[in-house]
Structure 1
Amino acid sequence: MILYGAALSPYVARVLCAVRRKGLDVRQAEPPGGNMKSPEYLALNPYGKIPTLVGEDGPVFESEVICEYLEEKYPQPPLLPADPAGRARSRTVSRAVDLYVLPGLLGLLGQLNPTTRDSAVVEEKLAELRRGLDGLEKLLKGPYALGPELTLADCALVPALFYLDRFMPAFGKFDALADHPTLRTVWTTLRAEPMVASLLADMAASLDDFLRRRAANAS
Structure 2
Amino acid sequence: MIHLYSDSRCAFSHRVRIVLHEKDMDFKIIDATVNRDDLMQLTPYNETPVLVDDIDKNNKKRDLILLDTNIVSEYIDERFPHPQLMPIEPAEKARMRMALHKLDRELFQHIRFLDANIQSKDPKIKKDIDKIKKQISNSLDEIATVFANNKKMEYFGSNQFTLLDASLLPILWRLNHYEIEVKKTWVNMMKYAEIQFNRPSFLASLTAAERSMKQ
TM (norm. structure 2) is 0.76
Is the partner of 1:166 in helix, strand or coil?
Answer: coil
The structure-2 alpha-carbon separation of the partners of 1:149 and 1:203, relative to structure 1 and needing over 3 Å to count, comes to farther
- Gap runs ≥5 in structure 1: 209-219
Q: Give the counterpart letter for 1:69 in structure 2.
A: Y
Change in CA separation of 1:30 and 1:7 when aligned onto 2, cut-off 3 Å = closer
Aligned to 2:58: none
Show the counterpart of 1:180: 186
Q: Could you tell me how far apart the structure 1 residues matched to 2:85 and 2:163 are?
A: 5
**Whole-Å Cα distance in 2 between the matches of residues 159 and 2 of structure 1?**
21
**2:166 match:** 155
Give the Å deviation of 1:157: 1.2
CA distance in 2, matches of 1:100, 1:201: 25
8 Å contact 2:7–2:32 — kept in the other structure?
no
Which residue does 2:104 correspond to in 1? 98
Query: Which residue in the other structure is 1:144 paired with?
Result: 155
Aligned: 1:132 with 2:139 = yes
**Deviates most, 23-32 or 57-66:** 23-32
- Tell me, yes or no, if the aligned pair for 2:177 and 2:213 is still in contact at 8 Å: no
Shift of 1:196: 1.2
Contact 1:111 1:117 in 2 (8 A): no
Q: CA deviation at 1:126?
A: 2.7
Q: What's the secondary structure of 2:81's corresponding residue?
A: coil
* CA pair 130-204 structure 1, distance change in 2 beyond 3 A: closer
- Partners of 1:60 and 1:66 within 8 A in 2: yes
Shift of 1:3: 0.7
Question: How do residues 1-219 of structure 1 correspond to structure 2 at under 5 angstroms?
Answer: 1-31=2-32, 34-35=35-36, 38=37, 40-57=38-55, 58-104=64-110, 107-108=113-114, 110-112=117-119, 120-137=127-144, 142-168=153-179, 174-176=181-183, 178-200=184-206, 202-205=208-211
Kept in 2: contact 1:94–1:157 (CA 8 A): no
Do the aligned partners of residues 127 and 41 (structure 1) sit closer, same or farther apart at CA in structure 2, a change above 3 Å counting? closer
8 Å contact from structure 1 (residues 14, 159) kept in 2: yes
Give the Cα–Cα distance (whole angstroms) in 2 for the partners of residues 55 and 162 of structure 1: 29
**SS in structure 1 opposite 2:48?**
coil
1-structure distance, mates of 2:118, 2:48:
23
The normalised TM-score by structure 1 is 0.75
Aligned length: 199
For 1:195, the aligned partner's letter is S
- Structure 1 stretch displaced more, 159-168 or 146-155: 159-168
